[in-house]
Amino acid sequence: MKIDTLIVGQGLAGSVLAWHLLEKGQRLLVVDRDEPNTSSKVAAGLVTPLAGARFALSESLETRLDYARAFYWKHEESCGRTFFHHRRIARLFQSEKERSAWTTRLENEGERYARFHAPLEIDPLRFHVPFGGFEMKEGGWLDVPAFLEYTRQALLERAAYAIARVESTDIAVEHGGVRWKNIDAARVVFCEGWRGNRNRFFDWVPMNAALGDILDLAIPALEDERRIVNRGGWLLPLGNGRFRVGSNYRHQFDSESPDETGEAEVLAKLAGITPAPFQVLRHRAAVRPVIRRSQVFLGVHPAHRRVAFFNGLGSKGVLNAPWYAAQLTEHLLRDVPLPRGSDLSHNHF
């Protein structure tokens, strides 16, 4: 079987890349392990434009955000479903230092920040607001599992999806392409998540994987809250008094399974957000693919031009995946240069 591109992994990175390549007329095969608790399937899928305690607006944020919104909207229009849920974020300061940092941002860069904030109105009896906060605009969350399943069905309709384990040692790099089993492809793109540096081609990429825990809760007292609330952790309303709360980063872990330590860490974050009573309904955990400073890395192998890599999406995957997938598609098909800071060939780890 001859194809243009073999994609290994149907998480968020592999799925979004598949759509971009399909739009260019590429013949694909996406091969996935079909595991139940991957980072893409467990992730909350948050889009938080102003992240971190310093509230920095990263370079090209507006471009990436607008592109991502248009990408998800296009697919919602195509299938008549909603994947991306637009939600404002009640960003509650954790300290006087955070409040001061925010004030300084507005004083120095108020014009650029105007798009992303509004005054905060919140009940101090239901949420902890000792230092105030603001309402973050342009946020929301993607129902990642629903989007992945929609993509999988579309690939199946095109006979472009298979469940299997692809080991990098099984990939033969041949003149003009690669071969896996009976598949001859012009190229292979590895989108393997946190296992990305267990691959013989990319074992030199410094992966600092982190286990993260997420809890589903019932919080009847907050049933009417529709905003995402962020204060050290985040609280995501799902409707009818159900919420999702997270998340932690555990770089040292012996198992990928949820445990009491992870649950306790997440509940401590919840306690910093609200005093409302709750009931734990479900606990899940998955390992995130974190590379240096949570950067996205992509590009072709320096010695094997038919072997490519797309990884490191981490907690900003929903925001970053569409725009970076578009850059990688143009690079693979037309040799358009990649963003220098994310191009594997220009980074010395």
Report which of 188, 147, 191 is spatially closest to residue 313, judged by C-alpha positions. Answer: 191
pLDDT in tens, the chain (349 residues): 999 999 999 999 999 999 999 999 999 999 999 987 787 888 889 999 998 888 988 888 999 999 999 999 999 999 999 999 999 999 999 999 999 999 999 999 999 999 999 999 999 999 999 999 999 999 999 999 999 999 999 999 999 999 999 999 999 998 889 999 999 999 999 999 888 888 999 999 888 888 899 999 999 999 999 999 999 999 999 999 999 999 898 888 888 888 999 999 999 999 999 999 999 999 999 888 887 666 788 999 999 999 999 987 767 899 999 999 999 999 999 999 999 888 988 775 5
Question: Whole-angstrom Cα distance, residue 312 to residue 290?
Answer: 5
pLDDT for the residue numbered 293:
66
Q: What are phi and psi of 87, to 5 degrees?
A: -140, 135
Taking the CA atoms of 43, 46, 49 and 52 in sequence, report the sign of the dihedral they define: negative
- Residue 8, phi-psi category: left (phi > 0), alpha (psi -120 to 50), beta (remainder): beta
- Domains of the chain, each with CATH number or no CATH: 2-44+145-206+292-346 (3.50.50.60), 88-138+208-288 (3.30.9.10)
Question: What is the value of pTM for the model shown?
Answer: 0.95
**Residue 130: CB partners within 8 Å, gap ≥ 6?**
none
Q: What is the CA radius of gyration of the chain?
A: 21
Taking the CA atoms of 155, 158, 163 and 164 in sequence, report the sign of the dihedral they define: negative
How crowded is the C-beta side of 15, counted as CA atoms within 13 Å?
Answer: 24
Question: Whole-angstrom Cα distance, residue 155 to residue 67?
Answer: 23
pLDDT for the residue numbered 58:
86
Report which of 314, 320, 325, 326 is spatially closest to residue 44, judged by C-alpha positions. Answer: 314
- Residue 107, phi-psi category: left (phi > 0), alpha (psi -120 to 50), beta (remainder): alpha
How crowded is the C-beta side of 320, counted as CA atoms within 13 Å?
Answer: 19
Question: Whole-angstrom Cα distance, residue 157 to residue 153?
Answer: 6
The bridge status of strand 117-118 relative to strand 177-180 is: unpaired
DSSP symbols for 15-33: HHHHHHHHHTT--EEEEE-
- 3-class SS of residue 226: coil
Q: What are phi and psi of 317, to 5 degrees?
A: -60, -40
CB atoms within 10 A of CB 156: 12
Question: Whole-angstrom Cα distance, residue 99 to residue 181?
Answer: 57
Contact 293, 349 (CB under 8 A): no
CA 290 to mean position of chain CA atoms: 11
Report which of 299, 328, 301 is spatially closest to residue 20, judged by C-alpha positions. Answer: 328
Query: H or E stretch including 62?
Result: helix 61-79
DSSP symbols for 120-181: ----TTTS--TT-EEEEPS-EEE-HHHHHHHHHHHHHHTT-EEE----GGGPEEETTEEEET
Q: 42-76 as b/e, with b when 16 or more CB fall inside 10 Å? A: bbbbbbbbbbeeebebeeebeebbebbbebbeebe
Q: Which residue has the tokens 């159900």?
A: 242
